[in-house]
A and B are shown apart, each in its own frame.
Chain A
Amino acid sequence: MDRRDFLKHLGWVISSGGILGGLSADAWAKMLNKTYDTTKHYYGMGIDIDKCIGCGRCMQACKTENAVPAVPYYFRTWVERYVIKTDRTVSVNTLNSDEPGDVLVEKDVLRSFFVPKLCNQCDHPPCVQVCPVGATFKTDDGVILVDSKRCIGCRYCIQACPYGARYLNPETRVADKCTFCYHRLVKGLLPVCVEVCPKQARVFGDMKSIASPLGRFTRMNKIHVLKPSLNTDPKVYYANLDGEVN
């Protein structure tokens, strides 16, 4: 759907007086019309494993920004800690962003690092393919969204996501996930996890713009994505990712 269609449909919806409340919808339509063109952007994120210090500020900020249930599970973004011992055994756990945790000194560590995770905003999203009602969809600017008004909560998308990025929101009873903070993007702000990351381990950018931090990131680093064999074509790009991560 190109932009003209988008706006035409928009106008149609508003004039049909259907699902949108009058004023705010009108205001947003104007804003989208004037300042934001979905077809002119295509978003992606870069994550540098060597820079992540595992402070968990991204997890905490994401929960605040996106009203994710404040329980120790359900995350739109989370950080995993990998410890690989000299005998090649691997142990992994998810960071607890609510407290700094203990001083961690393990013996016989071969290598150890943190891996931030989030929805990969796949170019070939399996979740969109399987959604029976088309409630989850890819926008022109490359973000996968869930229509919380139409999702029936069948959870097929949660089963189909190879990355565990989706969860059933216990309050709305519909599928929920990272949106790259879509409501911030359109207003020119960064996704909140990128905003608060103290080490710039997360880099955000528009792949359609000539110069963006993401452009430099993908030029200067060797890039890997998660589970490439599944052909989902993630748009979250990792630098210095370890082969043990999946």
Chain B
Amino acid sequence: MKDFFKKLPEQAVRVAVVFLVFVAVVFVIRQFIIPPEMKEPALQQASSMEREVAKEIQYAGAQICEQCHEKEPQIKKIGYHRDLSCESCHGAAQKHVENPTEVKPTSPKKRDYCAYCHKYNSSRPTGFPQINPDTHNPRKPCITCHNPHNPKPPTTPRSCAACHAQIERAKAASYHALIACSVCHTAPEKHKTSPRTVIPTKPDKREFCGKCHDKGSPRKGAPTVDMAAHGEKYVCWQCHYPHTLGGI
């Protein structure tokens, strides 16, 4: 061993010394000088989670509202807005929970706010009640006719278009424009109040469409096909969309 070191040229020894000093300094700094919370990921993650957990809440959550407000939640529970959280409309209310007298949550009263959900937009699911604010009682605040905690039309909807505007619009431009909804659909009265649970009917027989569209039908002007040969096992509306122009 001793011989080996003696054989090493002096420059190699010098380089080795510099290198070892460097390594030793790094080791000492890392091992003894740097505090553990700077180099232990587990500690850092724990403290990071603490900071995350300690962040302030802005939205108090729906449950807590009922503890003071009795009337509105009770009304809301039976209406169409039962799935809405209070803060969906009234905004972040944690500050109001902490200090009920001084901080009041917002209460949107303008038409604009209801429009976030109820202005017509062709991407919204069909059946979701939508209106065109320019033609639906312009400038009148929504809440004069609709109670936001139990919104329903002031009268039971007379026309299907009240909810199915999208279909109504398409149908108006189609060849079926003059055919009333009730010709093809039977809507039980309860559909108007519980639209999701009581669903209107659709024609379930080919012969229904055949009244106008079968070969030799007495109806003039309607395009006809030989129903015996055309599309045998399908009901017509499985391929043709009767509400649009051309019915594709």
Contact = CB atoms under 8 A, between A and B. Distances in A.
Contact of A105 (B81, B120, B125): B120
A183 B49 CA distance: 9
A198 B61 contact: no
A197 B52 CA distance: 23
A56 B41 CA distance: 38
A24 B54 contact: yes
B89 to A, nearest CB: 9
* Number of chain B interface residues as a range: 35 or more
A195 B120 contact: no
Contact of A198 (B35, B42, B88): B88
Interface stretch (A13-21, A157-165, A215-223, A227-235): A13-21
Interface stretch (B110-118, B156-164, B200-208, B222-230): B110-118
Contact of A12 (B36, B53, B124): B36
B131 to A, nearest CB: 9
Given A10-B46, A103-B133, A104-B122, A196 B87 contact: yes
Contacts of A24: 54
Given A51-B125, A65-B59, A196-B88, A186 B43 contact: no
Nearest to A141: B49
B128 interface: yes
A9 B42 CA distance: 7
Contact of B53 (A1, A100, A112, A182): A182
Nearest to B52: A182
A144 to B, nearest CB: 11
Interface stretch (A25-33, A70-78, A117-125, A204-212): A25-33
A28 B55 CA distance: 11
A225 interface: no
A145 interface: yes
Chain A interface residue number, banded:
35 or more
Contacts of B10: none
Given A65-B59, A179-B52, A16 B35 contact: yes
A28 B59 contact: no
Contacts of A1: 42, 45
Contact of A137 (B45, B83, B124, B132): B45
B96 interface: no
A149 interface: yes
Contacts of B44: 134, 147, 150
A47 to B, nearest CB: 14
Contact of A100 (B55, B119, B169): B119
Contacts of A44: none
B43 A13 contact: yes
A64 B92 contact: yes
Contact of A145 (B35, B49, B88, B112): B49
B173 to A, nearest CB: 10
A147 B88 contact: no
B85 interface: yes
Nearest to A183: B55
Contacts of B36: 12, 16, 18
B74 interface: no
B90 to A, nearest CB: 10
Interface of A: 1, 5-6, 9-10, 12-13, 16, 18-20, 24-25, 28-29, 31-32, 38, 50-57, 61, 64-65, 81-83, 99-101, 103-106, 109, 112-114, 134, 137, 139, 145, 147-150, 179, 182-184, 186-187, 189-190, 192, 195-200
Given A6-B46, A198-B85, A198-B117, 12 more contacts: A18-B36, A25-B50, A32-B53, A61-B87, A64-B58, A64-B59, A109-B122, A134-B41, A139-B49, A150-B44, A179-B52, A195-B61
Interface of B: 35-37, 40-59, 61-62, 81, 83-85, 87-88, 91-92, 112, 115-117, 119-125, 128, 132-134, 169
7 contacts: A1-B45, A24-B54, A57-B116, A61-B88, A61-B92, A83-B123, A134-B44
